[in-house]
Amino acid sequence: MMKNRTGWVALLVLGVATLLMVFFVLPRISETGKEAEKPTTTAADTAKDTAAKAETTLAEAGKAAAEKMDRLKADAATAVSGLSSLFADGKTPAVEAFTSAKTAAQSALSALSALEIPQLPDTTAIDTLKSARDNAAKALALLEALPQDPSAASTLLGPIEHALKGTTPPAAPATEAPAAATPAAPADESASTLPRFDVLRVEPDGSTVIAGSAEPGAKLDIVSGDKTVTSVQVEPNGDFVAVLDQPLPPGDHVLALRVTGKDGKTATSEEMATVSVPTSSDGKLLAMVTKPGEASRLITLPETVNSDAKQSRVAAETATAATNDAAAPAPATPATPAVKAEIQVSAVEIEGKRIFVAGEAPAGSTVRALADETRIGEIKTDATGHFVVEGTIDLPVGSHVITVELLDENGNVKVKASVPFDRPAGDQVSVVAQASGDAAGLVPLEQVAFEKQRDALSKAFAILKRLYADGKSPAIEELAAARSATEIGLQSIADFRLPSSTGQALIDFITQATSGAKTALSALRAVPAADVKAMGTALPKLASLIDAILAPAAPAPTVAIQDQSPSTDSAFGTTETATAEPKTITQAPLQESRNSVIIRRGDTLWQISRRVYGQGVRYTTIYLANAGQIANPDKIEPGQIFSVPNEALPNAEELHRKRLHGEKLN
């Protein structure tokens, strides 16, 4: 019995132990094992999650940067395109609209040029972002260099669009800009077809005749704002003449030329004609042609250079400046031909049997040239009064006389000028008029050129003042045109340079005037654009500054020619003989020059530089040597006489790059 009880107790203990093992010990051991395995599993998962999150972050950063770049590029392209659209179809926007669009483009380009580039594993994406940012920076630099005058900015917008896109402008303007007139350059073909004014004749009643050149066979419209005044067909030779159907009404007008070619494409003249028709019988008529970067051309003036009123005024100013002798004869009109000869020879070039005679005469007049009484040819002077008569004649070495005759409408000689010269040996020969320092009979040519600039400024500022006459308030477009013409006139005087051979008195006078022009130009530019009221307030100060610039020049030593006949073999530049025959002006002998060139039709500074210095890009050497005559180095006028230094400037190419970026060439 006892043994059985002991067995049952043992079995019970074993059962309890088994139960404890199964239900208490083993579960606890299992949980401990799981706890031991858990940290290892969590660490691996965390590493995987971190790597995945990092990869996702980089992808999102790259995607965000690309999306931002695309958005900013689209904004910049839209802003630049909006600025360009203001000039569509040859239109010139108001200053206010231009400034607003330019500011919007600046803001958009600035945002793109400041684009932050994240650290990305994809180098291609980084390069794309950097390229967009760099292109925007280049476009922004070009945009900020734009002039404030819309008419001067119209041709500079293309490079901005190309810079933003990262493309190269056509015709490589960075290296071929000076060759814009080279026949082989595409830019020249388009430039040569742009219409231009050659004759602008306006009567006091507003009757207007316009003649000029444009694309042969094209339709030409004369427009005033958005209104077409009249239309004509351009002749096959490129000439046109238009008579306005209705006279221009009294007031100020801005006219432009627009051509439509056979292909339907339109082009608008860079030149603008500003016309002021008097409102009363005693009012003054003004007609002026302006072009961005060039001095204004006064076509119809209230008094011409050779008018009696102008002669009397010049003579009176000369007499006052020269002497206080009140007993001197008051009417000094006979002296005025020395102020500006009606016709004169500037230079002669000989190339084998070909001869070129360059000179000056009234604009639009007919000139005939002869060598030793043998006819060379005839030609009409251009709008600036220059001419180049070309012909074939065999002139042997020795003494010769060149004669140029100014013809009237019937072909009769009104006045002629003759000049002797000794033809040296050689197939390439140049002889030029005496330097101004040696010619006492004529006002120096440099002073004549400077007086043209002062006349242009005077008339431009007169139009600006008239806009505010009698308390009037001009339209923004009228103000912009008159302000632009005045600014161009001041800039032309401020940039005027003289050759080293100029007399000291003239240097002192022109230096004072150019300094005054810079001061006046700063004052004008300080007036907010398109602010009609501010300009009216600034006019009195501007008038004071500009009046000082237009003060009479000190007389040349022999402006007043005495009544007695001067000696023709003197060193003086010009004399006159009064006979029953046409008036004859006898110039001092031409002198040989190995460093002079007559500019002929189609010539460019680029071509001349390439011929003389071996590379066209060195044209800046010639430009700086003749800066007093050259308003725009991309466009030189036939008949001009340039000096060509023997050696190119060592920094000529650097100067070219500076000019392309709008920097001053000092």
Better-predicted residue by pLDDT, 44 or 577: 44
pTM, 2 dp: 0.33
Length of the chain: 666
Q: Is the pLDDT of residue 62 over 80?
A: no
pLDDT band for position 524 (cuts 50, 70, 90): very high
In the prediction, which pLDDT does 282 show? 66
- Bridge partners (DSSP) of residue 314 are none
Q: Which domains does the chain have, with CATH numbers?
A: 2-165 (no CATH), 186-283 (2.60.40.10), 303-438+560-566+573-588 (2.60.40.10), 444-549 (1.20.120)
Per the model's pLDDT, the better-predicted residue between 311 and 240 turns out to be 240
For 636, phi then psi, to 5°, come to -110, 155
Rounded average pLDDT over 607-627: 81
pLDDT digits (tens, 9 = 90+) for 97-121: 777 788 778 778 877 877 777 766 6
Query: Which of 165-174, 238-247, 437-446 has the largest mean confidence?
Result: 238-247
Structure tokens at 100: 């607003």
- Structural contact between residues 501 and 437, judged by C-beta atoms closer than 8 angstroms: yes
Mean pLDDT over residues 44-53, rounded? 57
140, 142, 145, 146: CA torsion to nearest 10: -100
Question: CA–CA separation, 309 vs 303, rounded Å?
Answer: 7
- Residue 37 confidence class, pLDDT cut points 50, 70, 90: low
Q: Cβ distance 549 to 516 under 8 Å?
A: yes
List, for residues 343-357, the tens digit of each pLDDT value.
888 889 888 888 999
Q: How many CA atoms lie within 13 A of 653 on its CB side?
A: 8
Helix, strand, coil content of the chain in percent (nearest 5) = 45, 20, 35
Residue 196: in which H helix or E strand, if any? strand 196-202
- Rounded Cα distance, 394 and 653, in Å: 40
Tokens of 345: 């020879």
In degrees, rounded to 5, the angle at the alpha carbon of residue 348 between the alpha carbons of residues 343 and 351 is 150
- Most confident option among 99-113, 206-220, 231-245, 274-288: 206-220
pLDDT at residue 45 in the model: 58
Residue 159, pLDDT score = 74
Say how far apart CA 184 and CA 188 lie, in whole Å. 8
Report residue 661 as tokens: 């970026």
Q: State the Cα–Cα distance between residues 665 and 649, nearest whole angstrom.
A: 12
pLDDT in tens, 545-593: 999 988 875 444 433 333 333 333 333 344 444 445 677 787 888 888 7
Is the pLDDT score of 300 beyond 60? Answer: no
Dig out the tokens for 10 from the structure. Answer: 């043992």
Tally helices (H) and strands (E) across the chain. Answer: 16, 23
Longest dimension (CA), the chain: 182
Instruction: Give the per-residue pLDDT at 565.
Output: 35
Q: In this prediction, what percent of the chain has a pLDDT beyond 90?
A: 8
Quote the tokens at residue 132.
């967009």
Give all strands of the β-sheet with 386-392 in edge-to-edge order: 386-392, 354-360, 344-351, 428-432, 591-592
Question: How far is 528 from 118, CA to CA, in rounded Å?
Answer: 42
Mean residue pLDDT across the chain: 73
| Choice between 305 and 383, residue whose per-residue pLDDT is larger | 383
- pLDDT given for residue 239 in this prediction: 76
Q: What mean pLDDT do residues 26-50 have? A: 56
Q: Which two tokens stand for residue 432?
A: 């030029």
Indicate whether 235 pLDDT > 60.
Answer: yes
Spatial separation of the C-alpha atoms in residues 115 and 64, rounded to whole Å: 12
Instruction: Kindly report which listed range (244-258, 492-506, 510-524, 617-631) carries the lowest average pLDDT score.
Output: 492-506
Is pLDDT of 468 > 60?
yes
Q: What's residue 519's pLDDT?
A: 92
Q: Got the DSSP string for 321-341?
A: HH---TTS-S--GGGGGGTS-
The per-residue pLDDT for 403 is 93
In terms of average pLDDT, the best of 186-200, 325-339, 636-650 is: 636-650
Backbone angles phi, psi at 95, to 5 degrees: -60, -40
The answer to whether residue 412 scores a pLDDT higher than 80 is yes
